[in-house]
Amino acid sequence: MKNEISIRDFQRLIRKMYYEKDRQRGVDGTFMWLMEEIGELAAALRNGRPDEIRLEFADVLAWLTTIANVVECDLTEAIAEKYGTGCPGCGEYACICPDEEKP
């Protein structure tokens, strides 16, 4: 693996690179960019090469992180709170929730 990066470090990196632009654009405008990237990911999953798929996943994660920065949400804390002790539905690390239920 080239450079491993934690979620916390990634969020800090995205904040350092883009926060002022993102804050000015706001949540609504940034959310629209996220939706565009999700569409590009969907297309890549259908027809893309593995390298294209990886790049689209990275873009989606970057835009999601951007929104988290704009609303001052620490993603590391949010992930730990929701998933740190297992599946939010059944509490197991290997989910045993019925298929018709979310998560």
State the CATH number of the domain containing residue 63.
1.10.287.1080
Is 2 part of any domain? Answer: no
pLDDT, position 100: 84
Q: Give the tens place of pLDDT for each residue, 4-51.
A: 999 999 999 999 999 999 999 999 999 999 999 999 999 999 999 999
Containing structural domain, residue 36: 7-72
Question: Distance between CA atoms of 21 and 58, rounded to whole angstroms?
Answer: 19
Q: What is the DSSP letter of 84?
A: T
SS3 content of the chain, % helix, strand, coil (to 5): 70, 0, 30
Which band of pLDDT confidence, cut at 50, 70 and 90, is reported for residue 1? low
pTM to 2 decimal places:
0.89
3-state class of 102 per DSSP? Answer: coil
Q: Closest Cα to residue 59, out of 18, 8, 2, 1?
A: 18
pLDDT, position 3: 85
Q: Closest Cα to residue 22, out of 11, 30, 14?
A: 30
Domain count, the chain: 1
Q: Give the tens place of pLDDT for each residue, 47-63.
A: 999 999 999 999 999 99
